[in-house]
Amino acid sequence: MIKNDIWITKMAQQGLISPFEPSLIRQLENLPVISFGLSSFGYDIRLSPDDFRIFRHIPGTVVDPKNFNPENLERTELHTDVNGKYFILPAHSYGLGVAFERLEIPDNITVICIGKSTYARCGIIANVTPAEAAWRGYLTLELSNASSADCRIYASEGIVQLMFLEGEACAVNYEARQGKYQDQLKGVTLARV
């Protein structure tokens, strides 16, 4: 069963989402923002301004998930103007960011992360993997720019929606199997094997 705003609010008080915004925020200080916070059947998390990296080609190399070369990811500059703080994701490129909020998932819940329509209409595809039962930390966010134009990715504003799915408690949750991405810090986490 998908969990609603009442359940999300109750669980946020127990540490599910931190910091937690109990309503959907569309404006801050009289400026429009890409919405974040609680919705009817989900929660829109924000992109942290602390770390955003873009894949870059290093001639003669191949990106290898079993032997990831951190030089294939280049930190990108955080820009600021009257519209807010943002990173630029170049056309036909791929970037990694990190969630502003920390999650602590109960052992009978799995979280599916879905891209926001505002970004989807700009050609941005969010490919965020699920947060499994008993996972804790800051999600690494995978974003692809499928368009032929560079795109702003706004920091401290909504980036993906989380949907909380309840099932029976599993025999072995993420914490019990000592998952390799448990307790991710607030920074981009590279591929691990």
For the chain, what is the radius of gyration of the CA atoms? 17
Q: What is the pTM of this model?
A: 0.93
Helix (H, G, I), strand (E, B) or coil at 11: helix
Q: Which of 49-63, 142-156, 174-188 has the highest average model confidence (pLDDT)? A: 142-156
Pair of tokens at residue 119: 């970004």
Residue type, 144: S
Strand 124-126 with 42-55, pairing: unpaired
pLDDT of residue 63: 87
Q: Evaluate if residue 60 carries a pLDDT over 90.
A: no
Euclidean distance between CA atoms 124 and 178, whole angstroms: 32
Strands 151-154 and 79-81: unpaired
**Amino acid residing at 166:** E
Q: Does the bond joining 19 to the residue before it have cis omega, within 30 degrees of 0?
A: yes
Q: Catalytic annotation on 101?
A: no
Phi-psi region of 84 (alpha: psi -120 to 50; beta: other; left: phi over 0): left
CATH annotation of 5-166: 2.70.40.10
DSSP strands (E only) in the chain: 17-18, 24-28, 31-39, 42-55, 73-75, 79-81, 84-89, 93-99, 102-104, 109-115, 124-126, 136-137, 140-145, 151-154, 158-166
Please give the DSSP secondary-structure letter assigned to residue 112.
E
Q: How high does pLDDT run on average in the chain?
A: 95
Q: Is 150 in a helix, a strand, or coil? A: coil
If phi over 0 gives left and psi between -120 and 50 gives alpha, with beta otherwise, what is residue 26? Answer: alpha
Q: What is the pLDDT of residue 133?
A: 96
Q: What is the pLDDT of residue 189?
A: 87
Tokens 């602590």: give the residue. Answer: 104
Q: Which of 16-20, 83-87, 123-127, 170-174 has the lowest mean pLDDT?
A: 170-174
Q: How confident is the model at residue 78 (pLDDT cuts 50, 70, 90)?
A: very high
Q: How many residues does the chain have?
A: 193
Q: What is the mean pLDDT of residues 78-87?
A: 97
Q: Span 166-186, mean pLDDT?
A: 90
Instruction: State the pLDDT confidence band at 99, using cuts at 50, 70 and 90.
Output: very high
The catalytic position among 74, 132, 142, 166 is: 142
Tens digit of each residue's pLDDT (9 = 90 or more) over 114-151: 999 999 999 999 988 899 999 999 999 999 999 999 99
pLDDT of residue 69: 87
74 or 60: which leads in pLDDT: 74
- pLDDT tops 90 at residue 184: no
